[in-house]
Structure 1
Amino acid sequence: MDTVYHLDLNSEKIRGAKIALLPGDPFRSQIIAETISGIYGTGNKKLAWKREFCTYLAEIGGIPLLVTSTGIGGPSASIAIDELAQLGIGTFIRVGTTGAIQERVDIGDVIITSGSVRLDGASTHYAPIEYPAVAHHEVLNALVEGAKKTKTRYHVGITASSDTFYPGEERYDSFTKYVLRKFQGATKEWQKLHVLNYEMESSTVLTLTATMGLRGGCITGVVNRGGTGKITKESLKAGEEHAIRVAIAATECLV
C-alpha cells in the first residue's frame, strides 16, 4: 500500500475518510480533533506529523474525517491537497485566521470565502490566472448553515489571498518598512472592490479543488485588521475558536 511522501499517510490509515479540514497551524490539528471529540463524544487519533503536515483522524456521526495542517502559504497547501486527493479525499475546507479590511467586519467574526483574488503563485501551476478561484456551492452553503447554527456572526464574500504576509498584504511593519510599488495602495483598492479580508491559502485551495473536480471551501476567523492591527492572544483565540466551531457544524451537512 503506497504512502504519500509528504503527508506520510496511506489509504489504510485514513479509514475511508472523504472530508478534510485544513488548518494552517499543525498544532491546530489537535485542537480541532479534540473539539470534535468533545462535541460528539468520539475519539480521535494522530496519524502522522511530518514537516508542517500534522494529521488527525476524527469522527462525526460515525463518519471518519481528517484534520490535516497545510503550513503557511500556497506551495505547502497545494502539496497537502494533491496528496489527500490521491488518497480519495473529495471535500476540503480550509479553517484558518485572517485580517479584515472592511470596517463592518469585527474581530472574532468569521469570513466565508465565496471566491479569492489570486495573489499567489502556486495556483498558477494548476490553472491559468484567468481561471476563477471559487468555493464549491455545497461547501459554501454548509458553512453558512454552520454559522447560523452556532449563532456566529459571519460575512460571505471575496478574499484577497497573498503569497506573502508583509508586502502582499501591504503591511509596513516589516524589517524594511517598505512595500513594492505594485502593492502600495492595494488595500484601498481591494476595499473599494468590496474585498473582505487578506489571508494566504484560499486561492490555492479553491483553485486546486475546482480544477480537480472536488469540493472546496474556506472559513477564517478574524484576528486583526489587515495591514494595520496587531494580533493579540485574545483576538487569535476568538478568531480560531469561532472558525473551528463553524467548520465543524458545517461538516455535519457534508458527511
Structure 2
Amino acid sequence: MKNYAKPGEVLYHVGLSVEMLQGAKYALVPGDPGRVEGLAKAVDPDAVYLACHREFTSWLARVNGEPVLVISSGMGGPCITFIVEELGRLGVTTFIRVGTTGSLQEDLNLGDVVISKACVRMDGAGRAYAPIEYPAVADLDVTIALRDAAKELKVPFGLGIGVTTDSFWPGQERYDSLNGYVVQRLRGTLKEWQALGCTNFEMEAATLFTLCSVHGLRAGAICGVVAKRTDSEAVAPPDVYKMAEKRFQAVAKRALEKLIAVDKT
C-alpha cells in the first residue's frame, strides 16, 4: 500500500503539500534551481512560484489545463531520490528530467538535445533500491512523446543510452580536476562507452529511471548538449547554453501536451 501524504502535510525536503500541487501528476525536473523559473514560464507564461527549500525550488505551470510541477532536484542521484519519494507521495506519476549533458558521439553537436531511452548505472543511490543488474529504463510512452516532439519541432536530437555518474570529474574521465587524477578503474572508460554506442554523460537519469520503475511511476529524460567530449573536456559558452535551453524547453512542453492528450483519452 502506497504511503501517500496526508491532507495538509508539508513534506520535509521539498516543502510542498498535496494542496499546493493542485492535483499535478506531471513534473519537469531540472537539476539547477536557477533553471526552474525560465522553464516554468516557457511552459506557461502564467506559471506561479510555489516554494524554495534546500535545493528544491518549485513553480506550478499549466499545460492544456493540467497542472505541471517544475522543480529542481539539485545535482546527482541522491538528490533525485528525494524528488521521486516525496513527489510520488504527493501524487506525481510522470517525471521528465530536463537538463544539460556532455555528448559522447561525433554526430551529437553542441546545442543538440539527447533523449535517453535507458542509462548505464554508474550512479550509487539507485543501488539502495535495486541491484545493479536491474536496468535503468525510461518509460516508453514518455520517451516516444519526447522523440516525436523533437521531430515535430525540427530540433536536432539523439536517442540512445546515456551514462549516469556520481562524479563530474573522474566518473566521466575528466582530467581537468584539482589534481588531474583519475583512478585506474575509470581510465579508458570514455572510449569504452563511445565504442558501446552510449550517447552522453549526465548525473541524474539512471537514478530517476530506476526509482520510478521500482515505484510504478513513469520517467523520461531530455538534455541539451553543452559539452562535446569527442572534441574536449570544456563546457560550452553561454550562447550554446541558451540555445540548448530553448530547445529542451520547447521539446519538453510539446511532449507534455502529447502525453496529457493521450492520458485524457
Normalising by structure 2, report the TM-score. Answer: 0.93
Looking at structure 1, the residues matched to 236 and 204 of structure 2 have their Cα atoms a distance apart, in angstroms, of 18
Retained in 2: the 8 A contact 1:46–1:55? yes
Instruction: State how 1:243-254 maps to structure 2 within 5 Å.
Output: 243-254=248-259
2:237 alignment counterpart: 232
Retained in 1: the 8 A contact 2:26–2:92? yes
Indicate the SS of the match to 1:246. helix
Instruction: State how 1:46-125 maps to structure 2 within 5 Å.
Output: 46-125=49-128
2:143 alignment counterpart: 140
Looking at structure 1, the residues matched to 33 and 148 of structure 2 have their Cα atoms a distance apart, in angstroms, of 27
Retained in 1: the 8 A contact 2:24–2:92? yes
Looking at structure 2, the residues matched to 101 and 84 of structure 1 have their Cα atoms a distance apart, in angstroms, of 32
Retained in 2: the 8 A contact 1:107–1:238? no
Per-residue displacement from partner, 1:187-215 (whole Å, max 9, x unpaired)? 00000000011000000111011111111
* More displaced 10-residue stretch of structure 1: 61-70 or 237-246: 237-246
Query: Which of 16, 20, 35 in structure 2 is aligned with 1:28?
Result: 35
Looking at structure 1, the residues matched to 191 and 206 of structure 2 have their Cα atoms a distance apart, in angstroms, of 20
Per-residue displacement from partner, 1:59-108 (whole Å, max 9, x unpaired)? 01111110010000000111111100000000000001000011111111
Q: 1:34 offset after TM fit, Å?
A: 1.0
Retained in 2: the 8 A contact 1:18–1:88? yes
Query: Which of 199, 203, 206 in structure 1 is aligned with 2:202?
Result: 199
User: Is there any run of 5+ residues in structure 2 with no aligned partner, and where?
Assistant: 1-7, 261-265
Report the count of equivalent residues.
251
Looking at structure 2, the residues matched to 26 and 229 of structure 1 have their Cα atoms a distance apart, in angstroms, of 23
User: Is there any run of 5+ residues in structure 1 with no aligned partner, and where?
Assistant: none
Indicate the SS of the match to 2:172. coil
Q: 1:145 offset after TM fit, Å?
A: 1.2
Looking at structure 1, the residues matched to 42 and 191 of structure 2 have their Cα atoms a distance apart, in angstroms, of 37
Per-residue displacement from partner, 1:208-240 (whole Å, max 9, x unpaired)? 111111110000000111362333112211222
2:19 alignment counterpart: 12
Retained in 1: the 8 A contact 2:212–2:218? yes
Retained in 2: the 8 A contact 1:224–1:235? no
State the AA in 2 paired with 1:74: G
Looking at structure 1, the residues matched to 236 and 138 of structure 2 have their Cα atoms a distance apart, in angstroms, of 27
Indicate the SS of the match to 1:221. strand
Per-residue displacement from partner, 1:168-202 (whole Å, max 9, x unpaired)? 00000000111111110000000000001100000
Query: Which of 154, 176, 181 in structure 2 is aligned with 1:178?
Result: 181
Q: 1:149 offset after TM fit, Å?
A: 1.9
Q: 1:242 offset after TM fit, Å?
A: 1.2
Indicate the SS of the match to 2:40. helix
Indicate the SS of the match to 2:242. helix
Normalising by structure 1, report the TM-score. Answer: 0.96
Retained in 2: the 8 A contact 1:147–1:153? yes
Any runs of at least 4 consecutive aligned residues in structure 1 with deviations exceeding 6 A, and if so which?
Answer: none
Retained in 1: the 8 A contact 2:110–2:236? no
State the AA in 2 paired with 1:48: A
Retained in 1: the 8 A contact 2:120–2:163? yes
